[in-house]
């Protein structure tokens, strides 16, 4: 027996794989496994920024906007958003990508004063709901996990609303509750800047995580069944939220910090806490978060831009030309599906297969990785995972079953607390 085993090892016919993994699949078999998984459990994506594209490109006037096909959205008339790049998302491409449920982000910039952010967020909820209503044969507004299930069964793309940044509630629990009443089903506690009650991953810490009010925001979100999203927040804010939360949290679009050292990604110490909470990290496709080389290149571009501005005072055209010349000599590194899969591998290793989802961040970045440049690329990612030994059951968990479990548990917790009074906080004098 030992001789036979040694011979098989020598021929490369024995594979050493981690717990729960199958041997790597051939390319053809991997594609078949991925397609079968996505037919059974379509992708439930955690984050897509189409609504801010509508605001930036069309000022939310969408009567002539055709969401069935947005491949003609490049050019000078759209230079207000991503320098005239073609949008990543439309109904046809969502279908091709195997997307069955989508959280549409009603992001507004964190630079807005809070009262303006509240108004702008309501406007973004409005344009999102109007967009969904225009395509009843393809899109269906979803407010509950049951709505998602029914929409998928009918072959429609379940359309949920997620708020990106606590500035959108104006430091008001009353506004939070009304945003939920308008249809928002998650809120990212911060975006790129701190709020008066929570620290961001990309700002100088002010609160050492969550303030007492911030902890009440988490409690109230749990009470009403609104998912707490910890993408964009500092590690201390993540831990404070996990200390308070009684329902599963999500990271709607984040990677693993151990793979790419970026403050937007999730550390191993936080990943290790996810099984006890029941939450998930929805793996992001944003190149700077999944590729160390791309992250370093982006930092170098910003440094060169600062240098060019210093060397060309009062001459922005010369400064821009200097940066473009630098880019020509230093091309942007290509990010890959394999790098994104490395993040998923790591999340699985630390937190487990039950704590992974997908949150592409399409239309909120310039491009996705090579082979996943837009929303059509999800089958390529799932084929890569199948090649790495993920089973069909594993892929179904990642695509949507984990997210379905999280939302159902959040709804169940809210149902148990339905008799609890709303948390009150005094309005300013």
The catalytic residue positions are: 47, 49, 164, 191, 232, 253, 361
Give the dihedral of Cα atoms 202, 205, 209, 211; nearest 10 deg. -120
Handedness of CA 249, 252, 255, 257 (dihedral sign): negative
Q: How far is 428 from 170, CA to CA, in rounded Å? A: 12
Q: Are the beta carbons of 278 and 296 closer than 8 angstroms?
A: no
**DSSP 3-state of 206:** coil
Q: How far, in Å, are 110, 176, 196, 206 from residue 213 at the CA level?
A: 19, 13, 9, 14
Backbone angles phi, psi at 293, to 5 degrees: -65, -40
Q: In the 8-state DSSP scheme, what is residue 421?
A: P
Handedness of CA 326, 330, 331, 336 (dihedral sign): negative
Handedness of CA 337, 52, 94, 129 (dihedral sign): positive
Picking from 250, 253, 248, 280, the residue whose alpha carbon sits closest to that of residue 265 is: 253
Q: How far is 310 from 306, CA to CA, in rounded Å? A: 6
**DSSP 3-state of 107:** coil
Q: How far is 282 from 27, CA to CA, in rounded Å? A: 25
Q: Are the beta carbons of 167 and 184 closer than 8 angstroms?
A: no
Angle of the 378-387 helix axis to the 337-350 helix axis, nearest 10: 60
Q: Are the beta carbons of 406 and 46 closer than 8 angstroms?
A: no
- Alpha helices in 1-144, H assignment, sequence order: 2-10, 27-40, 50-58, 91-96, 114-133
- Torsional class of 125: left (φ above 0), alpha (ψ -120 to 50), beta (otherwise): alpha
Element spanning 362, H or E = none
């Amino acid at each position: 027996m030992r001789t036979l085993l040694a011979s098989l090892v020598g021929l490369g016919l024995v594979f050493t794989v981690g717990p729960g993994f199958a041997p790597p699949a051939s390319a053809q078999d991997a594609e078949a496994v991925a397609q079968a998984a996505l037919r059974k459990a379509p992708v439930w994506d955690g984050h897509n920024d189409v609504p801010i594209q509508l605001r930036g490109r069309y000022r939310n006037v969408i009567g002539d906007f055709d969401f069935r096909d947005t491949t003609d959205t490049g050019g000078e008339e759209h230079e207000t958003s991503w320098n005239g790049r073609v949008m990543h998302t439309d109904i046809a491409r969502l279908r091709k990508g195997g997307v069955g449920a989508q959280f549409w982000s009603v992001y507004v910039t964190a630079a807005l004063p809070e009262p303006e952010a509240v108004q702008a967020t309501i406007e973004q909820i409005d344009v999102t709901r109007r967009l969904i209503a225009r395509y009843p044969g393809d899109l269906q507004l979803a407010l509950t996990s049951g709505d998602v299930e029914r929409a998928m069964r009918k072959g429609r793309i379940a359309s949920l609303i997620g708020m990106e940044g606590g500035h959108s509630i104006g430091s008001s629990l009353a506004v939070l509750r009304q945003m939920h009443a308008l249809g928002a089903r998650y809120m990212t506690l911060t975006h790129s800047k701190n709020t008066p009650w929570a620290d961001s991953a990309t700002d100088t810490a002010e609160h050492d995580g969550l303030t007492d009010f911030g902890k009440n925001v988490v409690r109230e979100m749990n009470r009403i069944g609104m998912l707490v999203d910890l993408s964009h927040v500092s590690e201390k804010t993540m831990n404070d939220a996990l200390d308070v939360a009684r329902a599963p949290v999500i990271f709607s679009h984040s990677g693993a910090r151990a793979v790419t050292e970026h403050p937007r990604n999730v550390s191993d110490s936080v990943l290790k806490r996810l099984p006890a909470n029941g939450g998930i990290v929805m793996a992001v496709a944003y190149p700077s978060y999944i590729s160390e080389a791309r992250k370093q290149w982006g930092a170098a571009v910003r440094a060169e831009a600062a240098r060019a501005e210093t060397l060309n005072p009062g001459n922005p055209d010369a400064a821009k030309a200097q940066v473009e010349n630098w880019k020509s000599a230093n091309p942007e590194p290509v990010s890959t599906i394999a790098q994104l899969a490395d993040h998923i591998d790591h999340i699985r290793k630390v937190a487990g297969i039950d704590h992974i989802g997908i949150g592409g961040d399409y239309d909120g970045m310039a491009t996705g990785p090579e082979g996943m440049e837009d929303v059509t690329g999800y089958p390529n990612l799932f084929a890569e995972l199948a090649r790495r030994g993920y089973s069909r059951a594993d892929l179904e968990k990642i695509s949507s079953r984990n997210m379905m479990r999280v939302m159902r548990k959040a709804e169940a917790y809210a149902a148990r607390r339905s008799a609890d009074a709303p948390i009150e906080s005094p309005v300013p004098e």
